[in-house]
Amino acid sequence: MGGGLRVTWNNCCLSIPFHAKVVSHWEEADLNLQTPYKILMYSHDTYGLGHIRRCLAMARSLSKTPANILLLTGSPLAGRFKIPRRIDFVRIPGMIKVTHEQYLPLSMKLEAAEVLEIRKSIILATAKAFQPDFFIVDKAPLGLKREVVDTLLWLKSEFPCCQSILGLRDIMDSAESTIDDWSSKDIYEAMDQLYHEIWVYGCRDFYDPILEYAIPPHVAQKIHFTGYIPRQVPSPEDIQATRRSLGISAEDKLIVVTTGGGADGQPVVNTFLKAFDASLGGVPKHTRVVIVTGPFISPRDYQEVVKQCESLRFTTLKFYRSMERLIGAAAVVVSMGGYNTVCEIASQKKPFLIVPRTVPREEQLIRAQVLCSRGFCDYLHPRELTPATLREKVLTLLHNGSSCRRKMGQFPFTALEVIRKRILDHKRCEQKCI
């Protein structure tokens, strides 16, 4: 691999170094182990934190198979996460979603088309240099604006030993919207022609995308339902250290409010703050609140939240690096029901309330309805969201969340085990064929 990538764009040659830890990880590799597999993961990351968090959770597990994992990401926050050994990332220029179909450069003062060409070139150059055994594409079968198509075609024609895998979350959107979107963009054909397998990180008994999204039989036969992706569970010592760092005593019950990336979480946060206003009864005794707004909240909105939280003696955080520890310290969690947040909460069997968004996608609403119907959580539809209704549901979970905790012991957290098995089975088959 040398020192990095050589990317040609607009007749110019760009040199893109890999993160320094790639070399040190290689040097630290145990030479007594079998040759590590090479896994390339793609996460377009234009909105929120979900994609990179999901990919990192999988990468941590797969790195033990053993594998060297390179993550292509557009997230501006990639460097804030703890990256274990055998895992590294190539940062592609960020794009931000403006509308359902329009994306603009996050920070570069270039036309969107120019930045997309740079991203496309880096993705392809990375695949050619890394020569992965597996290429796992997160959520977007074609990538952002078809930016991974060239790479998928190159792997298929020039490096056919690589297994191209599409990973989908449990629920994409409503059936009607997803079918319309996939039909108009030839997604069904791409699934058929460009991918060896499709992994759905969910449970078919909960929600069946094959049925809901009218996936044709020849594509459906590639689908493997993995179950949900579990998250790291912190030790009791780590949880107690987190509580101490936040000044939370043993007798205090903590409510954590998290809105993921934060770009669209303001209605939930504002309603929560009003729910604990003195006019509705204030904050119950021995109750503490931490609100994690998300890093993509606007500066103006963040300052307003900080001001209101100070008056209520709530703690405000824009980003928390170890969300699993904060969730572990909580008695109740309020979230919008994104896939990754739900997995983080359920992994620790914490009672939780989902207040989902319905625009631009209904994914969170459908997930909330599915999980609530099975007793894993409670949810509040946005049209029913008022300070009084939110307060009632939060306090009910705070004082009587034991049934949710018991139910979450049955949550189907099988994804990492299933994925590791599929990776290892592929390699065994490959070795037999040599």
Could you please report the per-residue DSSP string of 216-245?
-HHHHTTEEE----------HHHHHHHHHH
Burial (CB < 10 A; 0-12, 13-18, 19+), residue 290, is buried
Per the prediction, the chain carries an average pLDDT of 90
Q: Please report which confidence band the pLDDT of residue 288 belongs to, taking 50, 70 and 90 as the band edges.
A: very high
Outline where 316-414 has alpha helix (H): 323-329, 339-347, 363-373, 387-399, 402-407
- The pLDDT value given to residue 33: 43
Q: 431 pLDDT exceeds 80?
A: no
Across residues 393-401, what is the average pLDDT? 96
Q: Looking at the predicted structure, is the pLDDT value of residue 428 above 90?
A: no
CB 136 within 8 A of CB 124: no
Answer with the residue of higher pLDDT: 48 or 319: 319
- Each residue's pLDDT tens digit, 225-273: 999 999 999 999 999 999 999 999 999 999 999 998 888 999 999 999 9
Indicate the CATH number for domain 4-229+414-433.
Answer: 3.40.50.2000
At 7, the pLDDT band (50, 70, 90 cuts) reads low
Q: Which two tokens stand for residue 314?
A: 């709530």
Percent of the chain at pLDDT > 90 equals 77
Pick from 16-20, 198-202, 373-377: least confident? 16-20
When pLDDT is averaged across residues 124-139 and rounded to a whole number, the result is 97
Reduced to 3 states, what is the DSSP secondary structure of residue 117? helix
Residue 30 has pLDDT above 60, yes or no: no
When pLDDT is cut at 50, 70 and 90, the band that residue 13 belongs to is low
What's the confidence (pLDDT) of residue 29? 39
The whole-number average pLDDT for the span 338-343 is 95
Q: What is the 3-state secondary structure (H, E, C) of 270-304?
A: HHHHHHCCHHHCCCCCCEEEEEECCCCCCHHHHHH
- Here the tokens at position 85 are 């050994």
CATH architecture for the domain at 236-410: 3-Layer(aba) Sandwich (3.40)
pLDDT of 427 reads 79
Q: Give residue 217's pLDDT.
A: 98
Q: Is 108 helix (H, G, I), strand (E, B) or coil?
A: coil
> What is the structure's pLDDT at 5?
60
8: pLDDT strictly greater than 70: no
User: How confident is the model at residue 64, as a pLDDT?
Assistant: 87
Structure confidence at residue 48 (pLDDT)? 58
* 37-43/253-258 β-pairing: unpaired
Enumerate the domain spans of the chain. Answer: 4-229+414-433, 236-410
Same CATH topology for 4-229+414-433 and 236-410: the answer is yes
CA angle 297, 302, 307 (to 5 degrees): 165
Predicted local distance difference test score (pLDDT) of residue 199: 98
- The tokens of 332 are what? 């109740």
Predicted confidence band of residue 360 (pLDDT cuts 50, 70, 90): confident
Backbone angles phi, psi at 67, to 5 degrees: -150, 150
In this predicted structure, what is the pLDDT of residue 170?
Answer: 98
In the prediction, which pLDDT does 411 show? 97
Query: Can you give the pLDDT at residue 84?
Result: 85
For the record, the structure tokens of 175 come out as: 């059936």
**Stronger pLDDT, 77 or 165, i.e. the higher one:** 165
Q: What is the pLDDT of residue 432?
A: 57
The structure's pTM equals 0.89
pLDDT at 339 over 70: yes
Distance CA 91, CA 306 (A): 31
Position 101 pLDDT exceeds 80? no
- Residue 2's pLDDT is what? 44
* Res 4 pLDDT > 80: no
- Of the two residues 144 and 53, the one the predictor is more confident about is 144
Residue 23 scores a pLDDT above 70: no
Strands 315-317 and 287-292, by their bridges, are: parallel
